[in-house]
Amino acid sequence: TIPKHASMDCNQQLTDWQYYYGRINKLTQGDPHLEQTLNSGLDGLNSLIYTEEKWLVEKECNSLLLQCCRLILPSNEHLVAKFCQFIYNAVYKQDVKVTQKTLDELLTFLIEFCNGCRDWSVSDSLRALGAILYGRGASCLKFCNQLLNTSEPIGILTRYCRSKNDDISRLAIQCIGNLAFKSIKTGNSLELKHYQLCYEILQRTMEIYLGTNFTDPLNACRNFNCTLRSLQNLLTAIQNLDTISLNPLIAVLRVFMLYGVEKVTLTQAQASVLLTQGGSPIKTQDSGTSLSSQRRTRHKTSSKKSGNSSINDSATQTLSTGAAEATVTMLSPFHKADTNLSIKPLVTSDSEYSDNESGQALKLKSAMSKVRLNALSCLQIIFKKCNKGISLGYWHYFIPDSVDSKIPSIFTCITKDYSTKCRQGGLFLLTALFDGSKAYLTAANYKDKSSGPFISFSYTLASMLHEVHRSLIKSLQQSNSNQLILQILKCITVVVMNTPYNRLQEGFLTKILDAILRYMHKNDQNIRVAFLACLTSVISVEGPSSEMQDLLSLSTYSSYNYSDTDNSCQLPEDIPWIIKLCNNLLYDTKRTINLDDSINSLSIQSPVAENALQVLIVFAANYPQIVWKSLHDITSIASGCLADGDRKITLYAVKLLEEIARIRQKNIVNSNTNDKESYLLEAVNYWKYLLTDVLPQLLQPGVNSTIRTAVCDCLSMIGPEVLHELPMTLRIFCMTTLLALSKDENPLIKASAIRCIGVFTTFGTLCNDSTFIADCIIVILDAIENVQINVRIKAAWSLANAIDTIAGNRLQYHENFSTNLVSKIYMALLKAADDNDKIKFNVMRALGNMLQFLSAQHLQREEFIDYISKSAIILSKNVGSGMMKVRWNACSALGKMLQNTAIALKTSDWTSSVFNTLMFAIETCKNFKVRITAAQALSSASDRKCYGDPALYASIWKSYVVCLSNSAEITDFSEYKHLNNLKDQIYISVCHIASLMEETDILSIRTQLSGLEDKLVHFIRNYPAEILQRQASGENESNKFQEHKKKLIDHLSLVLENFHGDGLEFLRLIVEKLSPDENESEAS
């Protein structure tokens, strides 16, 4: 029958609503017709149609909800049931936003009612409660204990989850899922303790379900699905999954991901034990060998199979619902395991299906596929959020390690599941397992195979990776569904991006290429895009192997039949086949002709073209040795794409031109003298073409900002040699264009132009152009105060480059640079020193160069004395705190300051602070690169007067010895590779410092080195020999250190000759111990 209001429009609905709203809103508690009016009013409200577009007025609706809470007594179950129906209609179907006051009143009312109501009215109240809780968990915190308590007094949801009535139990579980659901709109969530309560309740409910002998398997599926969906909401909302026990959860979800797949199901008894104990049943006879690094004991599993009955459709074989018994031995999640399977067919009927067996089987298949899909979704969420190092321990649950393995795995879902959605779910899960695991998969090593009984983890992991590749390729070849093909290609892309192929058998990348090339001409554009993305990942594999180099350098490839398409660029026969492939995809004959333009101007399919260009970009970046012979042809392809007019295609074409420019510049830099001239000529002609015919049109104000940004990035690849050879007009065009773009209001363009200016300031051709450098610094100083952090980061880097240039040519710039500009630079740097660390480390570098740049003439002005003092304080502060790159640059900057004798000789308040800071860094910093730079900085001064009084000077000696002593105590193994460099620098620094020693320093040195002198002498005397032993070709290095030692001994001997004061014996003893004996002299 058609509902009474089915034909009414929203205006009529609203009119009826106003009528019922007015009647109820006028009621008071003492009204004699209160119950009758409420009863008829709620009946009228519930008879309205709420499934149409939203028409309720939220303010009035909130008012009505509050009024009903005040007027209806919780003891009047009939009225409450009708009120609950209205709540569900308004809040769920019409998505009415309830105020906090209304929410509190409704929850108080419903909780009070649920605590004393009879079974027949529970369903309506739980349905209303679920509607209210959905996405509002963070607003219900004060009610969580009343809802979720697992101890006395037990929460209402906890109690109803344990109900023997499955409908009530499912509604309570849905309420928990709705409570845990994290609102996308507000982003608010529950507290951790409440999430843990929700998880505890769901886990307990799952235990009850798994331990129940369901007479109706469809009912079991409904219960499992409801719990799994609530679990999805919970897992999505929890920020840190380490707060819950993943072991039993993953074990049970693995059971359900195979639930109902033919011949791959577990008994309920087994699944129940999994949830409570958290292991995985072991198969009786393992066809393969699975060994961990720990000692293992073989376990056996026995299972009693329940009696079987047959039905027509074998796919209905499923989880045994009889009183199945299983003896299950449990393992930790880091041990491989499998199950002994027990299967029993189930038959049911439902009014929605025909009563024959076929209809029953279809209904059951559909219900069980939803269980599998929900389980796979839960696993996907877990492995997306879980630490990849932890998730690697669960791989054996899902991925086989040999071809002969009979263990049900994720590939059972991907290849045998009759539901396409479940197969896709398996692929989503496999993608989640691999995504972000690259750092951990480098542990794989196929060559690490032992001939004994022990099988290493690295070999097992490599075997798993082999099996993943084999199974995915097989699945791709056998799949006929476009949806599955698309997802398999996406999954292969992620797998390739995270797999260390240099540690596996060769040939897998070739097999992947052979498998995916058949999809390049698929009619489905999404598949063609996925194919190109997969091809890009294959070409992007790090450390190009000989397999890929040989394969990609071929002009023809057996799996790809090349033929020129209409309107495509005509390419030579000997060009690499990958370039031909991309050319064909870019100029496919199926493109539509753009009738607004000439007949030859074709509209390229944008997504396919973008990805084809990206393949060429990655190919050029990773295999320049193959591409360089075809640069002219790739340039023609890119130029043809520029003419298309599509914004995204133009962007990728510019990026391809940039990559071509990078290859040409590398050829110039790395070539020998004979080839350099020809490479330079080719590059000059290339840039003449770009700067004349291509880039000026793309830099016009009306062009998209992203494209103009890409053009700036491209200009930075021009190179100093090419710029020097370009005609003056083009050089001026480059410089003026960049200066103009650096003032653009768009932050992307501005940042890119500023970065390019920073590159240009390092060119030798422009270093002597003080006017251009000054103009560059002026625009950079403006950009370093920009509100956009990305602009400031680029500006700080470019300013540091520009100051490198003026510091390297300081004599010239002392004459040509205005003092006013130098002052502005200092002011900008001192201000930027308080900015983000990403900006700060370049500011430290720039400050060091500016301190080195200053001359004695600058120091005559009081403002520069103040700048130096502030700079010293800032640098000292940053040596001791902040990210390591900031500290490293701050140490380097202090070293450059000490190199400037005009500054170093001026004794100031900051002098002792600078030296003490550097000494502290040398002795205590955990990062050895910072120690090395600090040691170098301390020995930067060339005059003894720079080191202050004898006490300060002698303390520097002690710092070097302390550093030498504690450098052996390495807490971070990654620092070990820098240990020898640290020793080298200490040796050089000590020799330099000691070579500046004066007679007045001897007594202080003796005091500071008390008890340490033997260690220092032993190090200085024997370290050159240690270097000779350490390095196979270290003779030259050893000789350099011998020269340092000789210089030191000569200086100390000279001091000893003229010294007769206190400390004479100490100095004589040092010199005698350092002096080589006869055998050493002969060896030397």
pLDDT tens, 436-463?
999 999 999 888 776 666 788 899 999 9
Distance linking the first and last C-alpha atoms of the chain: 110
User: Which pLDDT belongs to residue 302?
Assistant: 34
Question: Amino acid letter at 198?
Answer: C
The whole-number average pLDDT for the span 326-338 is 28
Residue 185 or 884, more confident: 884
Average pLDDT over residues 847-851: 93
Rounded Cα distance between 371 and 222, Å, is 8
3-state secondary structure of 447: coil
Residue 176: what pLDDT?
95
Q: Nearest-CA neighbor of 375 among 491, 275, 198, 250?
A: 250
Residue 565: per-residue pLDDT: 53
**Beta carbons of 692 and 731 less than 8 angstroms apart:** no
**CB contact at 8 A, 1077 and 1022:** no
**What is the DSSP secondary structure assignment for residue 93, as one 8-state letter?**
I
Residue 697 Cα distances to 598, 645, 708, 869, angstroms: 20, 12, 10, 50
Distance in angstroms (rounded) separating the CA atoms of residues 900 and 910: 15
Which residues, 6+ apart, have CB-to-CB distance to 502 below 8 Å?
542, 543, 545
Q: How far apart are CA 104 and CA 102, in angstroms?
A: 5
Q: Are strands 317-319 and 343-345 parallel, antiparallel or unpaired?
A: antiparallel
Residue 287 has pLDDT above 70, yes or no: no
What's the rounded Cα separation, in Å, for the pair 742 and 740? 5
* Per-position DSSP letters for 495-541, written without gaps between them: HHHH--GGGS-TTHHHHHHHHHGGGTT-S-HHHHHHHHHHHHHHHT-
**Mean pLDDT over all residues of the chain?**
83
The structure tokens listed for 311 are 């039905």
How do 325-327 and 592-593 pair as beta strands? unpaired
Using an 8 Å Cβ cutoff, are 937 and 895 in contact?
yes
pLDDT confidence bin for 5, thresholds 50/70/90: very low
H helix or E strand, kind and range, residue 752:
helix 747-760
Which residues sit opposite 303 in a β-bridge?
Answer: 326
Measured CA to CA, the distance from residue 149 to residue 37 in angstroms comes to 38
- Per-residue pLDDT for 656 more than 90? yes
Query: What percent of the chain lies above the pLDDT cut of 70?
Result: 85
User: pLDDT band at 32, cuts 50/70/90?
Assistant: confident
DSSP string, 642-665: HTT--HHHHHHHHHHHHHHHHHHH
Helix runs in 577-690, H state only: 577-586, 606-622, 624-627, 631-642, 647-670, 673-689
Q: Give me the pLDDT at residue 674, please.
A: 79
pLDDT band with cut points at 50, 70 and 90 for residue 150: confident
- pLDDT of 75 > 50? The answer is yes
The pLDDT score that the predictor gives to residue 1055 is 82
Which pLDDT does position 42 carry in this prediction?
Answer: 94
Instruction: Identify the band that residue 324 occupies on the pLDDT scale cut at 50, 70 and 90.
Output: very low
Write out the DSSP string of 1002-1038.
HHHHHHHTTTTHHHHHHHHHHHHHHHHHH-TT-HHHH
Q: Which two tokens stand for residue 319?
A: 């989880």
Q: How confident is the model at residue 901 (pLDDT cuts 50, 70, 90)?
A: confident
pLDDT at 579 over 80: yes
Measuring CA to CA, which residue among 511, 476, 504 is closest to residue 490?
476
Task: Confirm if 227 and 275 have CB atoms less than 8 A apart.
Answer: no
Report the distance separating Cα 665 and Cα 678, nearest Å. 12
Residue whose C-alpha is closest to residue 916's, from 944, 875, 883, 888: 875
CB 429 within 8 A of CB 383: yes
pTM over 0.75: yes
Q: Is 39 left (phi over 0), alpha (psi -120 to 50) or beta?
A: alpha
pLDDT on residue 187: 65
Q: What is the pLDDT of residue 359?
A: 74
Cβ-proximal residues to 700 (8 Å cutoff; 6+ apart), any chain: none
Instruction: Please give the angle made by the CA atoms of 445, 446 and 449, to the nearest 5 degrees.
Output: 100
Q: Categorize the per-residue pLDDT at 315 as very low, low, confident or very high, splitting at 50, 70 and 90.
A: very low
Look at residues 691, 755, 757 and name the one whose alpha carbon lies nearest to residue 729: 691
pLDDT at 785 exceeding the cut of 80: yes
Q: What is the pLDDT of residue 572?
A: 82
pLDDT bucket at 1038, cuts 50 / 70 / 90: low
CB atoms within 10 A of CB 69: 19
Between 506-520, 577-591, 1027-1041, the lowest mean confidence (pLDDT) is in: 1027-1041
Query: Residue range 928-954: average pLDDT?
Result: 90
List phi, psi (to 5°) of 341. -95, 140
16 burial level (CB within 10 Å; 0-12, 13-18, 19+):
middle
Predicted local confidence at residue 470, as pLDDT: 95
What residues form DSSP beta bridges with 557?
Answer: 560
**Residue 584 · residue 565 · CB < 8 Å:** yes
Residue 560: strand pairing partners: 557
Taking the C-alpha atoms of residue 586 and residue 636, their distance in angstroms, rounded to an integer, is 12
Nearest to 499 by CA among 453, 467, 524, 454: 467
pLDDT band, very low/low/confident/very high, at 275 (cuts 50, 70, 90):
low
User: In terms of pLDDT, which residue wins out, 273 or 355?
Assistant: 273
pLDDT at position 728 over 80: yes
pLDDT range class, residue 976, cuts 50, 70, 90 = confident
- Would you say 190 and 238 are in contact if contact means Cβ atoms under 8 Å apart? no
Q: Are strands 602-603 and 343-345 parallel, antiparallel or unpaired?
A: unpaired
pLDDT for residue 1033 is more than 80: no
Top pLDDT among 504 and 323 is at 504
Is pLDDT at 496 greater than 90 in this prediction? yes
Question: Looking at the predicted structure, is the pLDDT value of residue 304 above 50?
Answer: no
pLDDT digits (tens, 9 = 90+) for 344-389: 333 333 444 445 566 777 888 899 999 999 999 999 999 999 889 8
Query: Residue 603 above 60 pLDDT?
Result: no
The answer to which of 331-335, 476-480, 817-821 has the lowest mean pLDDT is 331-335
pLDDT digit string, tens, across residues 738-760: 999 999 999 999 999 999 999 99
Note the pLDDT of residue 168.
93
Query: Among 64-78, 568-582, 956-970, 1035-1049, which stretch is predicted with the lowest mean pLDDT?
Result: 1035-1049
In whole angstroms, give the CA distance from residue 1047 to residue 635: 59
- Of 330-334, 391-395, 753-757, 892-896, give the lowest mean pLDDT range: 330-334
Q: Which residue in 412, 420, 364, 382 sits closest to 255, CA to CA?
A: 412
890 or 903: which carries more pLDDT confidence? 890
Residue 877 exposed, middle or buried by CB count within 10 Å (0-12, 13-18, 19+): middle
Distance CA 1046, CA 1040 (A): 10
Tokens 């409440």: give the residue: 194
Cβ neighbours of residue 639 under 8 Å, at least 6 residues apart? 653, 694
At residue 773 the predicted structure's pLDDT band, cuts being 50, 70 and 90, is very high
- Counting runs of H as helices and runs of E as strands, what totals does the chain give? 53, 6
Please tell me the predicted confidence (pLDDT) of residue 597: 41
8 A C-beta contact, residue 200 and residue 234: no
Distance CA 887, CA 211 (A): 61
Kindly calculate the radius of gyration of the chain based on its CA atoms and give it in whole angstroms. Answer: 38
3-state secondary structure labels for all residues of 298-358: CCCCEEECCCCCCCCCHHHEEECCCCCEEECCCCCCCCCCCCCCCEEECCCCCCCCCCCHH
Phi, psi values for residue 504, rounded to 5°: -120, 175
Q: How do strand 602-603 and strand 592-593 relate by DSSP bridges?
A: antiparallel
Give the Cα separation of 1077 and 1069 in Å (integer).
Answer: 14
Answer yes or no: is pLDDT of 334 > 50.
no
**Measured between alpha carbons, how far is residue 406 from residues 283, 287, 338, 469, 986 in Å?**
9, 7, 9, 17, 61
Q: Which of 685, 650, 691 is nearest to 664 (CA)?
A: 685
1061's CB contacts (< 8 A; 6+ apart) are 999, 1002, 1003
Residue 135, CA distances (Å) to 95, 191, 382 in order: 11, 14, 21
